[in-house]
A and B are shown apart, each in its own frame.
Chain A
Amino acid sequence: MQLPVWQDFYVANQQNGTEVLAVAIDFQGAELPRPYVEQANPTYANAVDTENLLGLHFGFQAVPNAVFVDEAGIIQYAKFGGFDIRKPADRQLAEEFAGADQVLLTTTEQAAGGFNSDEARSHFNNGLLLFHNGNREQALTEWREGLAYEPENWIIRKQIWAIEHPERFYSGDVDFDWQREQIALNQ
């Protein structure tokens, strides 16, 4: 879990006035990610994005992500997929941003790219709307159609898994062995 390490970063950089906002991306609601937040007990703000609001604005296909925003509200750095505050290189970037007097403006690092096709985006959005209206099966159908266009889209794939196989995600530790088996089976 990165949440406790973000707390460490947050405390260490409070003298710089740098805030941290952690956002759980979970279309099923706050109940599922909340236990992880409670366990980390952070003093920074924690939100949940059930509407894919950030996904629509940034077009990412994977998490974990980090977006650095400066005092003027300008996005200075973004990495989509694979940002890990526990890794020295990522920690250093965050520290440099927090401690910098001047802007650093780096390029966006996109580990997995945005939605590559309008078809996948359309199916994904349709599915999200259906899911929030309680049409679980129809939502899954839409997401599977979207996934057919973009088999590498982890936002769609893992959300399907989490809804169809909640026991692999929400009863204790996330079962990564199971996920690898699913990939091997092309599920």
Chain B
Amino acid sequence: MTETTNAVLQVGDRMPALTLTDINGGEIQLSRYAGQKYIIYMWASW
């Protein structure tokens, strides 16, 4: 089963240390932004 989480993140919560897939392969770990501001923009081509 896909792991599910019922605790939906809210403003004021700490962003979890997720690892995403680079669109050209490899990994993007959110920990790379430690100590920096960042904006996650989520989009879809559909």
Contacts and interface: CB of A to CB of B under 8 A. Distances in A.
Contacts, number: 180
In order of increasing CB-CB distance, the 10 nearest A-B pairs are A47-B20, A59-B8, A19-B38, A162-B46, A65-B42, A46-B23, A67-B40, A125-B2, A18-B37, A33-B45
B28 A66 contact: no
Interface residues of A, number: 72
Interface of A: 2-3, 6, 16-26, 30, 32-34, 36-37, 45-54, 56-60, 63-78, 83, 85, 94, 97-98, 105-108, 114, 121, 125, 128-129, 158-159, 161-162, 169-170, 174
Q: Is the interface of A mostly helix, strand, loop or mixed?
A: mixed
B46 A174 contact: yes
A79 B19 CA distance: 21
Interface size range of chain B in the complex:
35 or more
B24 to A, nearest CB: 7
B42 A20 contact: no
Given A33-B23, A37-B23, A48-B21, A21 B43 contact: no
Contacts of A121: 4
A114 B9 CA distance: 11
A30 B23 contact: yes
Given A30-B24, A66-B41, A73-B15, 12 more contacts: A16-B37, A18-B38, A19-B33, A21-B39, A23-B20, A24-B44, A49-B20, A63-B44, A78-B10, A107-B11, A114-B8, A170-B45
